[in-house]
Structure 1
Amino acid sequence: QQQQQQQLQQQQLQQQQQQQQQQQQHNGLQDQGFLWAVFQRVDRDRSGVISENELQQALSNGTWTPFNPKTVKSLIGMFDRNNRGGVDFNEFLGLWKYINDWQNIFRNYDRDNSGFIDKNELKQALTSFGYRLSDQFYGILVSKFDRQGRGQIAFDDFIQCCIVLQRLTDVFRRYDTDQDGWIQVSYEQYLTMVFNIV
């Protein structure tokens, strides 16, 4: 009798797992259907590719201002595998997830739900990513990426800040061969580093 109960429990568990898998597949198809509808709305010229301009018009940074063109260009550049200046539907799926992931991070640190993060919130976010920088440097970041002159960074500028910081870090690490946080480069190497980022 105990063995029958165990078999019954095992069968119930397997049925639950199958139902969960079917639900996940169904949700995935629903998500893809929703994203296809979004893609078609954004692709205004029906080219099958979302351009920088189309993407900028479709994105919202939550502050009723246009999405930062530099951020849009960076996003397209990251996901445009064919270098055609836009993203097709498959590339758009990755781009959508990337933006949503950043949006969730941003919301975690926008504690007052203002649509902006201040210097301290930026510091908390970047510290959670592993960056250990001075308060003075966080002030520099805010002034660099604060397009509206409020002493705060909007969502789109936060993405741009993180992209630039990651690119700079990647380039720095290539030259920091002994990983001590210091590099020695010639002027030409420095220029090469900078031009690989901008």
Structure 2
Amino acid sequence: MSYGYNPQYGGQAPPGHHAGGFAPPPQQQGPPPGSDPQLWQWFQAVDTDRSNHISANELQQALVNGDWSPFDLDTVKLLMTIFDTDRSGTVTFNEFSGLWRYIKDWQNVFRHFDKDKSGSIDGHELANALGQFGFNLSPQALQLVERKYATAPTGGYGPPPGITFDRFVRCCVVIKQLTESFQRLDTQHSGWIQLNYDQFMQTVLAAP
């Protein structure tokens, strides 16, 4: 499995694209009894203030995309809300273990749908991914998703270069959450509330 690189930890970045994820940790000693030594090394590397809890800012410093860019803070905060089960505002080692496996699984998903191995997800790849996940969005809604989550053009010129790993994860998680919210409102399972499913998705996705 390939991991992202963060210059903060020293060393040389390997060439080419990868899915993104955690940057390689420095060598650490003394994992807790019964824990995965490699996973404990990751946790120690991310926990820069040695508090035994990881904050959103610490986590952001340790997560990189396939082009070595840092994760968006919005994505990091979303991951924190999923795995901060005690609602402390930080992630413990046990919570971190779940987050690590989650990102590892998403790396495999990202590689599967990044058919051209470009290191980002384009519109066609996004439509394929969301369709296989069971999210039946119209072309108009898909365009909104692509515009909302694509990385801004370099220098502000030209079309967006695609959706990076971190934004792809956030995109899929948000659409899943929105779909589940709609389904809870759609008590008759008709595909309609006062708006139909696609209108609901377009209304929410168009929001800033």
TM-score w.r.t. structure 1 length? 0.76
CA offsets 1:41-80 (integer angstroms, 9 cap, x no match): 1100000011101110101111222201100000001100
Greater fraction helix: 1
**Pairing partner for 2:135 from 131, 138, 150:** 131
Shift of 1:137: 1.6
How many residue pairs end up in the alignment? 160
Q: Quick check: 2:151–2:161 contact (8 Å CA) kept in 1?
A: no
Matches within 5 A, 1:15-34: 32-34=36-38
Runs of 4+ in structure 1 deviating by more than 2 angstroms, as ranges, are none
Alignment of 1:170 with 2:174, yes or no, is no
Alignment of 1:112 with 2:116, yes or no, is yes
Shift of 1:85: 1.4
Task: Give RMSD over aligned pairs.
Answer: 2.0
Alignment of 1:140 with 2:140, yes or no, is no
Structure 1 distance, partners of 2:34, 2:92, is: 19
Identity across matched positions, percent: 50
CA offsets 1:135-191 (integer angstroms, 9 cap, x no match): 222111010011323251000000110111111111111110011111128xxxx9x
Q: Which amino acid aligns with 2:70?
A: P
**Pairing partner for 2:162 from 146, 149, 152:** 152
CA offsets 1:102-127 (integer angstroms, 9 cap, x no match): 11101101112111010100111111
Matches within 5 A, 1:1-198: 32-149=36-153, 150-184=160-194
Shift of 1:90: 0.5
Q: Name stretches of at least 5 consecutive residues in structure 1 with no aligned partner.
A: 1-28
Larger radius of gyration, structure 1 or 2? 1
Q: Quick check: 1:142–1:151 contact (8 Å CA) kept in 2?
A: no
Q: Quick check: 2:83–2:91 contact (8 Å CA) kept in 1?
A: yes
